Chain A
Amino acid sequence: MKLRVAFFDFASCEGCQLQIANLEEEILDLIEIVEVVSFREIMKEHSDEYDIAIIEGSIMRPMDEKRLRDIRSRAKTLIALGACATTGGINKMRNQRSVEDVKEEVYGSDKITKDNEFFNVFQTKAVDEVVPVDYYIHGCPISRDEFKRVITALALGKKPVIPTYPVCVECKKNENVCLFELGKFCLGPITRAGCNAICPTNGSVCEGCRGILKKPQVECVMDILERYNLTYEEMKRRSTMFNMSAFSAKDEMTMVGGSKDE
């Protein structure tokens, strides 16, 4: 019997679901090997019975938490799709400030927001801060190739292999000129690979959207900043776009996003 797959989205830009539509002809292969029972963006049909739930987006409100817990209880396997789901992604940037602060900034007086369920937000959470996640498909947006690898692995009954090494491995294989040598600060050396180093390969620094693997030693960072004439401010800035939780919490932080048994 084919695995039944359902897609759900929370607070996100829906770019990761779009990436799945971007599978083009291969989406027809996808619906051959699994049964897509819910995919709001491109399908009207919906079912509440599924084996695999794929979640895009971060969790921001009690109503979202409730919906997520319900989904988790129905699915045997839950996959976090994209940075907003796997690590909180760019949505976590606002966690630097208190919720009251940002609400006031955006909506001013609380005439509309007060007692309104839609506006009752807390600090952004990644999916695994609410329910257990079985598999992570990282990236902002996801890599279509990686998505295919994970789905085919699950369809074949094997555990998908997600890289635990940095982007530099893939960047060097592509024979890119290292962006540090061009005076730019790239997060590649500490960011999880699996995207085939797409940004450095296109001449742009890695922004760490797949989650950083490990905070490097301070001495190492200072060495690099000095060697390439970069500033600490720039490093901190770049690191806090997608990996805010790594740098706002206490010092001993390890991985952002990913299962604990890696």
Chain B
Amino acid sequence: MSNTFAINVEHVTRIEGHGNIVLDVKKGKIEKLQWQISEAPRFFEAMLQGRNYDELRSITSRICGICSIGHSLASLKATEDALGIKITEQTQKLRRLAINAENMQSHILHVGYLAAPDLFGVGSVFPLVGTKNTDALLKIVKLHRLSNEMSDLVCGRTVHPIRLVVGGFSAIPTERQLRNLRDRLEEEIKTTKEVADVVKSVAGNLPDFTRETEYIGLTSDKEYALYDGIIASTDTGKHLDYRDYKSIIEEYIVPQSTAKYAKHARESYMVGALARFNLNSKQLHPIAKEVANMFGLKPINYNPFMNTVAQLVEFVHNIEDSIILIDQLLDDGVDDEKPVKAEVKAGRGVGIIEAPRGILVHDYTLNDDGICEKANCIIPTNQNHANIQKDMEEFVPQIIDKPEKEIELNLEMLVRAYDPCISCSTHYLDVKFA
């Protein structure tokens, strides 16, 4: 075929942050294909330097609105690691509830508001109102509300959490509140299954595209790792020293992006729900496994579009997991405990968690006064940009004969499937001591 056309999507919609898709085809040959990041740099690195250890989580939370709980938790883990603070069992459980809540909120937002419209053939969720799909929309909204109310309860607020502080929590939910939450989570498992059915009914619209890829994420013997774990790769297995994350995550710069790229065993790799599924699906809770089976999702799945389905599976897992956590908390009795006091001293700490979009690292060096002198962050979406580029390079030839509009939509859907968080990804923090 000898088609010549150009696709230029400036500021892709329904993703967090600003990115462009550029495709130039001349007589059926790809002249230029780029996933470009044009996000404004905010220079967070210049802002963390000289700040007290107890302010870092407030500042880094503002890197991203959707994964602010994730940033806060990674920040706190790094700070506590640097100061040698050991948090209580109760705090461990509450933080796991927090990370579950954020995962749920982020995933259902993506599945329902950002990705699903493409599967329904509409521009946003709003046109679904007043159609036969109104019910499905309301169910999605209900689940989103549940996730947010859970965040509000555990963290004080879902965007830029308040209760997460160094050493623990500034306020603890009461047993009655946790019991109410547990009842609601139990109730909404049914709604979740109904939403899964609806997604299944349009899942056929997901392109059937695969490319062998390396997947990287946290892994743990105890649980499907989100809050704690060690880094693992589908290519090279477990990597035991968490402080040595740089040996796995190699960042490099490319001219078309204000954000860095990353690689490990291949030219690129993927992080996020699909990566976690591919590494740890055996540890999913039962109903989550059922949902995975419903979609025929089995490890290792190399179709990036299935990331959205993996998110749905994780959503179910998070609900089941939260119920278990709350039961444990209630059994032990909830203590109105104060955060563990910090003994201010110099040190370096690394905090790694799985944010909704993938592995997130905060690395701080504090001086004797507890002031931050050096900081580094590896953002999930950073690590996906290279993979998006590589996927596009393999995908476009497969769809090059389709109508232009369809190619454009497919490329957008590819980007959306990764659920990128671009504001985050331009904010790798690499501060040198002044």
Contact = CB atoms under 8 A, between A and B. Distances in A.
Interface of A: 10-19, 21-22, 24-25, 27-28, 31, 36, 39-46, 60-61, 64, 89-91, 93-94, 97, 101-103, 105-106, 112, 118-119, 121, 140-141, 198-199, 202-204, 207, 237, 241
Given A28-B129, A204-B156, A13 B62 contact: yes
Contact of A202 (B47, B141, B163, B255): B163
A119 B65 contact: no
Contact of B126 (A25, A31, A46, A64): A31
B38 A118 contact: yes
A130 B47 CA distance: 23
A42 B124 contact: yes
Interface string B120-157: 00011110010000000010011011001000000011
Contacts of A21: 109, 113, 144
Contact of B52 (A13, A91, A237): A237
A105 B253 contact: no
B326 interface: no
B65 A202 contact: no
Given A15-B159, A118-B40, A198-B157, A22 B432 contact: no
Interface residues of B, number: 59
Interface of B: 11, 13-17, 38, 40-43, 45-47, 49, 51-52, 55, 58-59, 62-66, 68, 109, 113-114, 117, 123-126, 129, 138, 141-142, 144-145, 148, 156-160, 162-163, 165, 169-171, 253, 255, 258, 423, 430-432
Nearest to B432: A105
Contact of A15 (B11, B15, B68, B170): B68
A118 to B, nearest CB: 5
Contacts of A118: 38, 40-41, 258
Given A15-B64, A22-B159, A94 B47 contact: yes
A14 B66 contact: yes
Contacts, number: 159
A44 B65 contact: no
Nearest to A202: B156
Given A36-B126, A202-B170, A237-B52, A18 B65 contact: yes
Nearest to B123: A44
Given A43-B126, A44-B14, A199-B162, A91 B113 contact: no
Contacts of B66: 14-15, 18
B40 A90 contact: no
A117 B41 CA distance: 12
A203 B339 CA distance: 11
Nearest to B255: A112
Contact of A119 (B124, B144, B156, B258): B258
30 contacts: A12-B65, A14-B17, A14-B66, A15-B62, A15-B68, A16-B159, A18-B109, A21-B109, A21-B113, A31-B126, A39-B124, A41-B15, A42-B14, A42-B113, A42-B114, A43-B124, A44-B123, A60-B40, A60-B42, A61-B40, A64-B40, A93-B59, A103-B43, A119-B258, A140-B160, A141-B157, A198-B156, A203-B163, A204-B170, A241-B55
A40 B422 CA distance: 14
B339 to A, nearest CB: 9
A166 to B, nearest CB: 18
